[in-house]
Amino acid sequence: MPRIITISREFSSGGRELGKRLADELGIPCYDRQIIDMVAEKQGLDKNYVANMSERDVKVFYNSTIGRGFTSYNFGINQSLQIANAEHNLIRELAEQGDCVIIGRAADVILKEYNPLNLFVYADIDSKIARCKERNQEKESLTDRKIKFMCRDIDKCRANYREMFTDSKWGHRESYHLCINTSGKEIKRLVPALASYVKNWFE
Amino acid sequence: MPRIITISREFSSGGRELGKRLADELGIPCYDRQIIDMVAEKQGLDKNYVANMSERDVKVFYNSTIGRGFTSYNFGINQSLQIANAEHNLIRELAEQGDCVIIGRAADVILKEYNPLNLFVYADIDSKIARCKERNQEKESLTDRKIKFMCRDIDKCRANYREMFTDSKWGHRESYHLCINTSGKEIKRLVPALASYVKNWFE
């Protein structure tokens, strides 16, 4: 059975970087945004549109369409579920191809039958603000308050998305095998030992 | 500054074994029950009495003495706080002596100024039941129901004890640097990579 590592993460905690570096260290592929690109291509949809839809969950979509009529609501939900379904099929196809790291998209739930090693990456708010600013140096408009709002909002979407497919909770330690706090740490320094942990886990 | 690793753990999750093995792997001392023995000796109290008092927190003690009169209640609280205080002083003394692993007793809070690496060890209830039965093979009376009750009760005591000294929560991921799920795993297989993680952390 392929060795699958899934990364769930708080927004701006460094989870994506950790996943990529971990995959490099293990010499296996890492799937992240490529999933969106591949789904967009398969569905004949715009990449940004898919990215936007797959970040949102049906619950959030429902709230944003209240008062816009049933047709718009219904179309939105269908589209959202269709994209989620295409993503899940693709994630299963990728897992079938062999060992890999998959970031986000509730892959830990979707790939449950593969017994993946599920990691959760988190950090304190100061570290997340610093990381977000460093990553978006050109965007001067990103105030601390705005970043805090983004962190809360995006994490809420991720939690809601996960809860559409399982009753195990996003971010609750019992849903994961290892929860990694990256506050104030350089991700690259944490990765070699994590790679050893992964190897031992699957031995 | 000494490199201090603190282990907080759910009852029967294998946290004590993990702490001891980690200390062995790192070649540093591990302090656990010795803390009770040393405090008992210093205070001229019975070891079992100290163990019993230090497992309980003031809140639990208060509940158990309701209706027994103020004197009994007051004596109990004083004794409980006196033992906690002696434990904390001893924990600071031990930390001053050099690198070490300290299990339980809110050492992560007591030693905050040493910037310890704080680990939390947990497991699912089936693994905890299995571990508890394996450890207590001679005690036939330990039914699954009884073990579940013990797990809940002892963890509640630990959470209450911690909350006497800090507002950061016991078992909440943000209180720790790494949360380790031991469900269905042999502790000794997880330790070498964790030792590498510890070394990288303090580099």
Q: Identify the CA nearest to A15 among candidates A128, A129, A160.
A: A128
Total tally of structural domains belonging to chain A: 1
Q: Is pLDDT of A152 > 60?
A: yes
Q: Is pLDDT of B61 > 70?
A: no
Nearest CB neighbour to A178, from listed B181, B192, B196:
B181
Q: Identify the CA nearest to B127 among candidates B15, B20, B7.
A: B15
- Is A181 within 8 Å of B178 when comparing Cβ atoms? yes
What pLDDT shows up at residue B74? Answer: 61
Q: Which pLDDT band, with edges at 50, 70 and 90, does B177 fall under?
A: very high
| Phi and psi torsions of A118, nearest 5° | -105, 115
pLDDT greater at residue B167 or residue B181: B181
Nearest CA in chain B to A183: B177
Nearest CB neighbour to A200, from listed B171, B177, B189:
B189
Nearest CB neighbour to B122, from listed A173, A199, A200:
A173
pTM of the full structure: 0.89
Nearest CB neighbour to A173, from listed B173, B177, B203:
B173
User: By the 8 A CB rule, do B83 and B50 touch?
Assistant: yes
- Is B178 within 8 Å of A173 when comparing Cβ atoms? no
| Phi and psi torsions of A165, nearest 5° | -120, -5
Nearest CA in chain A to B181: A177
Beta strands per DSSP E along A114-186: 117-122, 178-181
Contacts 24+ apart (CB under 8 A), B127-130: B127/B13, B127/B182, B127/B183, B127/B184, B128/B10, B128/B11, B128/B12, B128/B13, B129/B12
What average pLDDT is seen over chain B? 87
Among A48-62, A65-79, B102-116, B132-146, name the one with the lowest average pLDDT: A65-79
Q: Which two tokens stand for residue A127?
A: 């570290």
Among A83-97, B54-68, B154-168, name the one with the lowest average pLDDT: B54-68
Best of B5, B181, B199 to substitute, by most chain A Cβ atoms within 10 angstroms, is: B181
From CA A144, how far away is CA A128, in angstroms rounded?
Answer: 10
Nearest CB neighbour to A179, from listed B124, B179, B193:
B179
Q: How far is CA A28 from the centre of its chain?
A: 18
User: By the 8 A CB rule, do B187 and B47 touch?
Assistant: no
Distance from CA of B119 to the nearest CA of A (A): 10
What pLDDT shows up at residue B194? Answer: 97
Beta strands per DSSP E along A44-186: 100-103, 117-122, 178-181
What is the β-pairing status of strands B100-103 and B178-181?
A: unpaired
pLDDT tens for each residue of A40-98 = 888 888 888 888 776 655 445 445 544 555 555 566 667 778 888 899 999 999 999 99
- Is A177 within 8 Å of B177 when comparing Cβ atoms? no
CB pairs under 8 A between A and B: 64
Taking contacts as CB-CB distances below 8 angstroms, the residues of chain B near A192 are 196, 200
What pLDDT shows up at residue A74? Answer: 61
B152-162: average pLDDT: 90
Q: Is pLDDT of B72 > 60?
A: no
What pLDDT shows up at residue B50? Answer: 82
From CA B143, how far away is CA B133, in angstroms rounded?
Answer: 9
List residues of A whose CB lies inside 8 A of any B CB: 120, 122, 124, 171, 173-174, 176-181, 183, 185, 189-190, 192-194, 196-197, 199-201, 203
User: By the 8 A CB rule, do B3 and B121 touch?
Assistant: no
**DSSP assigned state of A171:** T
Cα separations (Å) of B34 from B20, B41, B78? Answer: 12, 10, 22
Its sign, for the CA torsion A68, A73, A79, A80, is positive
Contacts of B32 (CB under 8 A, 6+ apart): B16, B19, B20, B102, B103, B104
Type of residue at B41: E
Best of B180, B187, B197, B199 to substitute, by most chain A Cβ atoms within 10 angstroms, is: B197
From CA B57, how far away is CA B45, in angstroms rounded?
Answer: 18
What is the β-pairing status of strands A178-181 and A100-103?
A: unpaired
Nearest CB neighbour to A196, from listed B181, B196, B203:
B196
User: By the 8 A CB rule, do A77 and A66 touch?
Assistant: no
Residue with tokens 């050109």: A138
Taking contacts as CB-CB distances below 8 angstroms, the residues of chain B near A122 are 173-174
Residue with tokens 């095998």: A177
Provide the residue count of chain B.
203
List residues of B whose CB lies inside 8 A of any A CB: 120, 122, 124, 171, 173-174, 176-181, 183, 185, 189-190, 192-194, 196-197, 199-201, 203
pLDDT greater at residue A155 or residue A67: A155
- Domain boundaries, position A82: 4-202
- Is A197 within 8 Å of B199 when comparing Cβ atoms? no
Residue A117 forms beta bridges with which residues? Answer: A5
CATH number at residue B60: 3.40.50.300
pLDDT greater at residue A193 or residue A46: A193
Q: Is pLDDT of B93 > 60?
A: yes
Nearest CB neighbour to B177, from listed A181, A194, A196:
A181
Cα separations (Å) of A160 from A171, B11, B84? Answer: 11, 31, 42
Angle among Cα B116, B119, B121 to the nearest 5 degrees reads: 160
From CA A75, how far away is CA A190, in angstroms rounded?
Answer: 44
